[in-house]
Amino acid sequence: AALTMGDALVYPYLFAHGAHHGWFRLKWIADVAALLLHEGPAGAEARYREAKAAGVGRCAAQGLLLAEELLGLPLDPAFSAELRRDPVHRLLLRVAMNTLGGAFEAKEHASPWARTMLPVLFAGLLLRKGLGYKWREIGSLAANPVDRATGRLPKGLGFLYPVLGGVRWGGRMLGLKGR
């Protein structure tokens, strides 16, 4: 994995990718845990510190706690306790555990109207601090490419896609459309 983006970015990328999808594929966390196992508890902590410095500390905390809980990844007890002290980390862990334990992938991929993704989407707003991040994430959800493809606007009105996309997405999640 290091050949593509270099050692400094591999773990932050893996943590961020898994977290943004709620770790719904067990393979992702198993791969991260397998890589970290070779580094030992001190290496896992160092990778967390690097990810935190890169701005994805909460993503890393979620991944490390998930790997510890599900796969027995050895973490230093003091470090594990440090991660677990943060209520956001504990919430992110619960969301990931519920996502892995449920029918998230089957339902979400089977229907664009599935509401199984809501906890993951809301947890995604907690992955980084700051209103700017949260605003960009909400904007990304509102600018859904499915909505752009299914609801063409007249030329010059493309700036309305985020507003209409947000309304359409909200309608789907509330079960008001598409059933």
Q: What does 38-80 look like in DSSP terms, one character per residue?
A: TTHHHHHHHHHHHHHHTT-HHHHHHHHHHHHHHH-----HHHH
Residue 53 — pLDDT band, cuts 50, 70, 90?
very high
**Whose structure tokens read 């002290």?**
85
Picking from 141, 142, 139, 165, the residue whose alpha carbon sits closest to that of residue 152 is 165
How far apart are alpha carbons 61 and 15 in whole angstroms? Answer: 8
Q: Whats the size of the chain, residue-wise?
A: 179
pTM greater than 0.85: no
Paired tokens of 58: 């909460």
- Chain segment 95-134, per-residue pLDDT in tens: 899 888 766 556 655 555 455 566 777 777 778 777 777 7
